[in-house]
Amino acid sequence: MLWIWHFCRGILYRKGGYRVKKKTVAILATSLNTLIAILKVTVGWLFGSMAVLADGIDSSTDILTSLTMLISIHVASQPPDEEHPYGHERAETIGAKIISFIIFYAGISLLVESTKRLIFHEYHVITSPLPLIVMALSVVIKTFLFLLEYYVGKREKSKAMMSEAMNMRNDILMSSLVFIGILLNRMGLAILDPILGILLSLFIIKTAFEIFRDSVYELMEGLPPEEMEVYTHLKNAIEKCGHIKDISRIRVRKMGQWYIVDADLKVDENLTVGDLFSLRKKISAFVKEQNPHVREINMAFFPEHVPTKEIMCQSEQGGNATIKDEGEDNEGQIAK
């Protein structure tokens, strides 16, 4: 598979600085998934192979997930508006959740059908080489799409694309198992066909749960365990800017690939409004330099003698002095 790896690397990082876009990957994935799904469903139906048919149905769900990913990426790319002042990036997270439901339904359906085939001995030896050829082609195409979606999704921090890449990773394993199963089937082990169908359905269900779990964190405005270290990085970055007596609280929410930060900070009560604006700009610039995925940091400043408990109560009720980061070209605003 090394040649597939080098080929994908060449596409992802072409000379001249061009990098393939998420929308391009989504369109390509939809097209290739449609092609391979038609081939596998047709061959599985013609030759009565439950394993090939199951893999074909799974590829058919890939068409739906690719379309969902394409639509969610298009919506997420829209700029903020009056109804969505924070932007539309969570459309990708919603897309990932929809994908998890589709995958789960496909897994349950395949589990039921494969179990029925096994119980009632509805399997036979496959003699034609065509199913082997189709499954080999499937492994090559799925490997290509996995590498493409994984690296672009990771680079862009796209939940929907990373979810699709996870699904594609399992597709590679499933198609490989089906390929091996067909080889053994041709040797007389026909019972492996429904058994493989059951195993594949369990992999599909597991993937659905993983994707659902990851999307829940963002929709509930939380962070997964592997991203919790962002709090430590933010705290260290803010403390390095000076004039901060204490950091009472930092809250982080995710919007697609972006972090939106709310920070309650204790400062010298003798600082003027102008000093606070200058401090806000300094903190905002430094934090974004340290972490390019921080899109917005809203800071609430309090005198250093105010107890932290009181700060948290005022922050919840909106009774604090807040300076909102609205970009480097905007001076922000103060609300009391």
> Residues 49, 120: one domain?
yes
Residues 36 and 171 placed together within one structural domain of the fold: yes
| Contact present, 170 and 193 (Cβ < 8 Å) | no
Tell me the residue range of the domain where 276 lies. 225-335
How far apart are the C-alpha atoms of 298 and 322, rounded to whole Å?
Answer: 7
Q: Look at the chain and report how many structural domains it folds into.
A: 2
Q: Measure CA 307 to chain center.
A: 40
110 and 249 in one domain? no
Q: How many helices (H) and strands (E) does the chain have?
A: 10, 5
Using an 8 Å Cβ cutoff, are 182 and 44 in contact?
no
The reply to whether 327 and 215 lie within a common domain is: no
56 and 197 in a single domain? The answer is yes
Cβ pair 135, 52 in contact under 8 A: yes
Domain end residue (candidates: 195, 219, 243): 219
Residue 158 contacts residue 91 (beta carbons within 8 Å):
no
> What is the pLDDT at residue 276?
92
Task: Place 51 in a pLDDT band, splitting at 50, 70 and 90.
Answer: confident
Do residues 167 and 149 make contact, with C-beta atoms less than 8 angstroms apart?
Answer: no
Is residue 158 located within the same domain as residue 264? Answer: no
List phi, psi (to 5°) of 267: -135, 170
User: DSSP E strands: which ranges in the chain?
Assistant: 244-255, 258-267, 294-303, 321-323, 334-335
CA pair distance 49, 3, nearest whole angstrom: 30
Same domain flag for 174 and 302: no
Chain center to CA of 240: 32
Residue-wise pLDDT for 15-48, tens only, equals 444 456 777 887 888 888 889 999 998 998 888 7
Pairing verdict, β 258-267 and 294-303: parallel
Higher pLDDT, 146 or 13: 146
Q: How many CB atoms lie within 10 A of CB 118?
A: 17
Assess whether 127 and 102 both reside in one domain: yes
**Mean of the pLDDT values across residues 253-276?**
88
Residues 250 and 181 in one domain: no
Per-residue pLDDT reduced to its tens digit, 168-208: 887 888 788 889 888 888 888 888 888 888 887 888 788 78
Residue ending a domain, among 219, 251, 282, is 219
Residue 129: give its domain's CATH number: 1.20.1510.10
**Boundary-marking domain end, from 219, 251, 269:** 219
Domain harbouring 256, CATH code: 3.30.70.1350
Q: Which two tokens stand for residue 332?
A: 């922000």
d(CA 315, CA 59): 49
Q: Does the pLDDT value for residue 336 go beyond 80? A: no
User: What's this model's pTM, rounded to 2 decimal places?
Assistant: 0.64
- Same domain? For 255 and 120 the reply is no
Gap between the Cα atoms of 146 and 288, Å rounded: 31
Using the 8-state DSSP alphabet, how is residue 79 labeled?
Answer: P
Residue 248 and residue 128 share a domain: no
